Structure formats: C-alpha cells, structure tokens
Structure 1
Amino acid sequence: METIKIGDLTLRWLNGGVTNMDGGAMFGVVPKPLWSKKYDVNEKNQIELRTDPILFTLNGKNILIESGIGSGKLTDKQKRNYGVTEESKVENSLKETGLTPEDIHIICMTHMHFDHASGLTKKSDDGYESVFPNAVIYTSEVEWDEMRNPNIRSKNTYWQENWQAIEHQVKTYTEQVEIFPGLKMIHTGGHSDGHSIILLESNGEKAIHMADLMPTHAHQNPLWVLAYDDYPMTSIKAKQEYISSAIQSNTWFIFYHDAVYRALKWDEEGKTITDSVKRVR
C-alpha cells in the first residue's frame, strides 16, 4: 500500500480494481505516436487505468476520495468492454489499516461514473446496499441530478444500482464546498457536467486531485482531453486554470487512475518530474 505525507496528512491508496480502456478514447484527438510515448499501451490498444480510492484522516474523520469499481457487480460483457482484470479489494485494504467500511465518515466523489461510483454499493438479498453505511457522500448538485436522470449518452455510465441504496447519504453543493479547513471540492464541469476537483492543504503543503480532467500524468497538456469528456472545451479551460497554478505553487498532483504514479510534482516549467510516489507493481 503506497503512502505519501502531505503536511500532517497521510494519504494511502487502496486496491479499488483496474480497468484497461481504449487508448484512443482516453487521449481523444491526440495521435497515438504522441501519447504512446508517454503512457504504455498493450496490443489491444488499451491503457491500464487503476481505480484506487485514496484514504486519509482529517479532523478525526476517515475520508475516501472515490470508491473503486466494486466487486461482483459487473457482467462478463462489462468486464470485457472495460478491460477489467481485477475488481475491488477495498475492504481488505482497509483491514490492513485497522479500519472497516463502517469506519469511513466521508467520501468525496469527483463524479459518479461507474468506474468511480460502483464501489459505493454492493449486492444484497434485497438488491443493493451501501458499502459505507456511516459515510456522508459529497458530490456536486449537477452531478447528482444527472446521476439520477441520465441522458441518452450518460445513461451508459450512471447506473441506478450505484445510487439508489446511498441516496440518503448524499450531500450536494453548487460551486464549491469546504468540508474541513484544508479539504475543498470545486465544481469544474468538463469530463461530466457535474465533475469536480479536490484541493488538499496541510501545514503549508498542498495537493490537487484533478480526477478525470487529468486521469494520468500523461494528460498534463491542457489540450489532451478524453473522447469521453462531455464538454471538452470546459475541460481545457479548467486544466489551464488549475494545472499551471498548481505547478507554480509546488503542489502535489495525486491520481486515482494512473498506473505508474500515485503522486508527483513537476518543476516550474512543468517539464520534469521532481518528486514522485510510484505504484508498486
């Protein structure tokens, strides 16, 4: 289990499962000869994308960023289409830290696509139940509204089984919310209409989770956006606003999907990685 210290915070990456998604879709209009130099691709043109929640404790509360892809919920066809080679083992990862799912107090959901939200619920005798029954689940109001009423495009990723059992736990916000001093969620749109990013600050150190605006370190270029993005120009604008300022302020970038890096810093020009935590394979 990889960890990093951000000020007084200790961040831990749990095992939330893995997908292997089409590289062309993940890099949009960027030609493969360019993006394949920055991120490994397999013979099926797929790139590995972890779905690993990030655990930390703040103000005496155990907090998760994202929830993983869950376990026992995907059909064989879905596993094939999304290149799922491993499902979530979040409960086992929590056990290593001395915690159970019941000990999680807050979950910060940048958005509610299946690869982020499937870990929120699990199958039960009556259908589905909450995996983290004592947690307050934060997501933007726009995201929550679309989750429950998806359009013809988004219905493929906003699934009823991922929200019905936890709707009484959800707390929404509009533009931004400061959950605690040092933990803020900001609605950006872009990847989805309700997409948000997360800012962390502790004892003078900072971290930013760009979520699916920058799912991997190879997506640093503001123009390298996903074919999955519903509003690509909004994604580009948000990346321009937050990435450069984070680099200039010596901020850690933390990742949910990246198969290589858990966290990293770039130099002031954004060209060289100056510090990093790599995923242990």
Structure 2
Amino acid sequence: MTATYAERLAALTAERGRLCVGIDPMPGVLDAWGLAHDVDGLERCARGIVEELGGTVAVFKPQSAFFEAYGSRGVAVLERVLADIRAAGALSILDVKRGDIGSSMAGYAAAFLGADAPTRADAITLSPYLGVGSLAPAIQAAVAGGQGLYVLARTSNPDGGTIQLADAGGATVAQHVVDTVAALNADNDHAVGLVVGATHRDPGCNLDAFNASILAPGVGAQGGTIEGLRAVFGPALKYVLPTASRDVIGHGREALVGRAHALMGL
C-alpha cells in the first residue's frame, strides 16, 4: 500500500528535521550567485540548491513564478528541479497558489498531482478565495496520488490581513479556513495542510486542535524567527515546517550549507 503524504513527511522530517528551504531564484539571488538573469542562470541556481542540500534537507519549496517568468524553458527547468528533489530523497512543495472551480480546478490538479502529472510535486499550495469547497478536485487527486496540499490561511505578507482577518460570522476568515480544512482531513488521509506565516505574533486563528502539516513561510528575510515560532503556533508547533528562502539561498552557493544547517534540527 502506498504511503500517504502525511506518513512520508513524518518519516522524513524525523530523520532530517523540519526545515523547508524555498527555491526562489529571483534576480537578487542570481546576482548573489554570480549568475546571469537567463534560463541557464536559473537552472544553475535552482539545481545547485538541491545538489548542495538535497541529502540533508527534508523539504524544498520551489516558487513556480520564478520559473514561469522564463516561459516554457523555465517550466522545463522546474520539472528538472522537481526530479532532482525526488532523486535526492527529499519532498517538494510546489508553490503555485492555484485556486479555481470545477473543471478549471481539475485542470490544475492534472498539471501537478497524480502519477502522470507533467509538473508533478509531492504537494502544492492552493488559494481558497473561491471557497475551500472549490478545491475538491485537487483534494481528490492528492489523496489518490499520495500527495499533499497546503491551503492559504494566514499568509506572511502584511497585506494579507485585510482579507484573512476579516470577520466571517464571528470568526476570522483565516479561522474559517483552518476549521474547514481540519474537518476535511479525517476523511482525506490528513493530506490537506495550511499555510500560516511565521511573521505574525498573533496569526488571528487558533491552531491548537489542527493536526496536519503547517507550512510556515517568512523565516529570515521577512522577519520571522525560529525563536518566535512557539509563540505563533503553540501546541501545533510539532506540525510546522519553518520555511526560509532568501536567508538560506541569498548569499551564494558557498554559503548554502552553513546557513541551512544553522536552521536545522527544528
């Protein structure tokens, strides 16, 4: 029987720790690596991150936008990066933040989830703006393929609060997302996690009863700290994947291992 995403994640993080390294080959990162702003520079940076850290880091989070910016050739690089992550025995969370309804959501699911998906990842991020229920095609595909999902609840950016902290019948929108996802998980192999930024002292949602993976971006350059994680997540800390990108990858290839290891063992 194929292991679920939650089972694979638990086994790997027990071995390697819970640090998730973001693969964000933005122009400033390429500059720090001494690479050109072209497809070759993109590939050398992104694949170089996996070459250096793939044997010790449990989870990588490639940001699809930086690959899509180079068109079809950039997406081809992304597919190779995802293959590299698999070959290294690590897990990939592809940050695509897709969200749609019906057949459109099913189309996104076919692109990233399932054995035959051309841009297959171990998990992807999703936006619930059209309602958590609209994500059903992706949830079904993820469970069938032993993959995972991370639904945006309280994002790390300052502007997110204008919507995520709005009142939704006596609770914040973020809390509504948390509660709805928690209710889904009992029947879906705990495959549906949350995105809750590490940058908020008070995230505006109670995570104490949540029992699936939580992706926590914003460690480092956005102001989140390892020391502050307990204050944000409380009892849910054991499910948290602290996620750092620029703080690890933004200082050149030679600094990668040292900066990642400083955050590992979480």
TM-score relative to the length of structure 2:
0.34
Greater helix share, structure number = 2
TM-score relative to the length of structure 1:
0.33
Greater strand share, structure number = 1
